Amino acid sequence: MTPTKTIHNLPTELIWMVAENLDPVSRMHLRESCTDMNNRIFPPTHKELVEFESTPYGYESGLFACANYIQLLPKEMFADNMTVHKRAKRRSGSIIRFCLECGTHPVQSRPRYTAGDHIIVQGKMFMICTRCGNFKEGKEKKGKGQSECLECWESSL
């Protein structure tokens, strides 16, 4: 009996040729299908993801590219100012856009958000608390943000 032939039996060069003809999201899905594919297929570049976010699928899905993670993420994963104006889709600043995770817990770079920063996410104010250091919901007082999260601010009353 002959052994079963699967995509895993193909030479890596043929796998690359297949992957090159896929859009970035399909390529990521193929990479994530198993360890073998993850090891054999190159991930999409950040430039490809930035281009892909401007496709009809990218607009319908509300996806944005993160410069650090090199991933497409939903809009809710970004501060409001990261998805509009100069960092909006098809704008020059979109190549340096970073998600909340990268801004608050960077892996290889310095933090982009620091203690006391106010970060608006879907119209709601969050911050890096100067007391506990965590990224949490902030407290506004007379139209001006505090430097402590809501939890720390309430505990100090």
- pLDDT tens per residue, range 39-87: 999 888 899 999 999 989 889 999 999 988 888 999 999 999 999 999 9
Q: What is the pLDDT of residue 36?
A: 92
Q: What is the pLDDT of residue 74?
A: 95
On whether residue 79 sits in a domain, the answer given is: no
Q: ∠62-63-68 over CA atoms, to 5°?
A: 150
Task: Give the separation between CA 104 and CA 128, rounded to whole angstroms.
Answer: 8
What is the reported pTM? 0.77
On whether residue 133 sits in a domain, the answer given is: yes
On whether residue 65 sits in a domain, the answer given is: no
Task: Give the separation between CA 121 and CA 50, rounded to whole angstroms.
Answer: 21
- The arithmetic mean of pLDDT across residues 85-91, rounded, is 93
On whether residue 46 sits in a domain, the answer given is: no
Q: pLDDT at residue 1 above 70? A: no
On whether residue 131 sits in a domain, the answer given is: yes
The answer for residues whose C-beta is within 8 angstroms of residue 110's C-beta and 6 or more apart is none
Task: Give the separation between CA 6 and CA 135, rounded to whole angstroms.
Answer: 47
The token pair at 31 is: 């990479």
Domain range enclosing 154: 113-157
Domain tally, the chain: 1
On whether residue 87 sits in a domain, the answer given is: no
139 vs 38, which has greater pLDDT?
Answer: 38
On whether residue 153 sits in a domain, the answer given is: yes
What residues form DSSP beta bridges with 136?
127
On whether residue 144 sits in a domain, the answer given is: yes
